[in-house]
Amino acid sequence: MDPFSTATSLTGAIRAGELSAVEALDETLARVAQVNPQINAIVALDEERARAAAADADAALARGGPVGPLHGLPMTIKDSWETEGLVTACGVPDLARHVPAADAPAVARLRGAGAVIFGKTNTPMLAMDVQSYNDVYGTTNNPWNPERTPGGSSGGACAALATGLTALELGSDIGGSIRTPASWCGVYGHKSSYGVVPQRGHIPGPPGALGEPDLGVAGPLARCAEDLDLGLGIVAGPDRWDEGAWTLALPAPRATALRGFRVAAWLDDASCRVDDAVRERHEALVEALRGAGVEVDTEARPALSLDDAVSVYLPLLGAAIGAGLPPEVYDRLVALVAASDPQDDSPMTRYARVLTISARDRVFMDEWRQQQRAAWSDFFTRFDVLLTPVTPVPAIPHDHSAPMPLRTVTINGEERSYLDLFSWIAPATAALLPAASAPAGSTPDGLPVGVQIVGPHLEDRTPIAFARALAEVAGGFTAPPAYAVA
């Protein structure tokens, strides 16, 4: 079995009898044993139950009964999603022994489709960083350069995909947590439209929470766009509160062939400059699209600025996560804001302000968000997708210094705020739009570069279809040289 087979091809081989589910699991676990110690992507295993599930899958196929679209597929789950009978810690020491009694709904849908879930992948603590490290399981390394992070918070998931340890993953995204690690590891990821995949059973909030956090979504991660479509079709749908009254029918993509898409590209911005290596890769991608006969408008924008999007996104993000902070931490942030000069825009003060936003200001921000959604809706009457950077830089070196807002990143030789890593994912997140990350090549020093493909609200299949067609000119997934199979 090729460890870099797609989920679609593996499930096809299992259904055709060319490969058994037990064989697929055995080969996957053997590769995990060989490769995972180098990257620390998979942090918990459930081998005994996975072997029983794989044997059951083979027996069901032998009986000739109906099988699901993921029948017998070995896969992992990001450790922010609750998994029945398998520890779900999300990097939190107090949850290191937390074994849920039930799957999160999205996980249950994957299992119900036939997936054999054999392990969990690493995240930052509470999924609150663009690097994947914690005091429970340690640090995950980028498979393209172990001195760099794979990204976060789905960093373990993307590192596992890039090294052939799993063929499909379930990620979550509120601050680029699907798109950033997909870009930095050279794989595919899809941030779904808000509300189409249940968030129940995700940490954070705390175990047992029933609320749906603003901005937060789930979505598939894979090595090809076809698998994104497959995974989304399984996990999307109403939660138990709504399933008695409505069903979800995501529209077909607006086009399937490259030349059928109306494409705009927003590749740089004065408010958050993009590193030359990333910008040049995106510019080359635009020229490749044009060479394939695709018209690409590099001047078109929705009627909002990048600053506008960031200015509404960060407070809404702060409102979504601030309520979950321990009281003593929240009180310190309130005191910091109260003692600061109103003109102080330093990273720590700015961070404290967004985490302690008032309910009144949150209502104002939501109205501004709705105005931006209207601007996007108008934009997508003229275009089908908008291409942007995912982050302004490729994968960054490990940096675990605290507090996080005081970290910096280097962009074209200039030290910039760590918060700049959230700028380019802000427009789609704030407006609740679907956005895929697809491989777009690599920098001169061999680090992957992804491109963000933003689509119209609820038209998730359009950016996924564009990502699939884009592989014709961008090349799609490439295995990191250290992990490629001869």
Q: What is the mean pLDDT of the chain?
A: 97
Q: How far apart are CA 290 and CA 269, in angstroms?
A: 22
Percent pLDDT > 70 in the chain is 100
Task: Read off the pLDDT of residues 362-382 as tens digits, 9 standing for 90 and up.
Answer: 999 999 999 999 999 999 999
42-46, 63-67, 403-407, range with greatest mean pLDDT = 42-46
Domains of the chain from N-terminus onward: 7-257+475-483 (3.90.1300.10)
Q: Residue 320: name the closest of 128, 453, 189 by CA.
A: 128
Task: Read off the pLDDT of residues 285-312 as tens digits, 9 standing for 90 and up.
Answer: 999 999 999 999 999 999 999 999 999 9
Split at pLDDT 50, 70, 90, the class of 459 is very high
Q: What is the pLDDT of residue 486?
A: 66
Task: Read off the pLDDT of residues 69-91 as tens digits, 9 standing for 90 and up.
Answer: 999 999 999 999 999 999 999 99
232 has pLDDT over 80: yes
Task: Read off the pLDDT of residues 408-419 as tens digits, 9 standing for 90 and up.
Answer: 999 999 999 999
Q: What is the pLDDT of residue 62?
A: 96
Q: Which helix (H) or strand (E) holds 417?
A: strand 414-417
Q: Residue 139: name the closest of 126, 152, 33, 128 by CA.
A: 152
Question: 64 φ, ψ to 5°?
Answer: 80, 15
Token pair belonging to 221: 């991660």
324 has pLDDT over 90: no
Q: Residue range 56-70: average pLDDT?
A: 96
Q: Is the peptide bond preceding residue 153 cis, with omega within 30 degrees of 0?
A: yes
Reduced to 3 states, what is the DSSP secondary structure of residue 471? helix
State the pairing for strand pair 188-191/435-442: antiparallel
Q: What is the pLDDT of residue 23?
A: 98
Q: Please, what's the largest Cα pairwise distance for the chain?
A: 72
Token pair belonging to 71: 């029948």
Positions marked catalytic: 78, 153, 177
- 169 DSSP β-pair partners: 221
Q: How far apart are CA 167 and CA 157, in angstroms?
A: 10
pTM of the model: 0.97
Q: Which residue has the higher pLDDT, 433 or 342?
A: 433
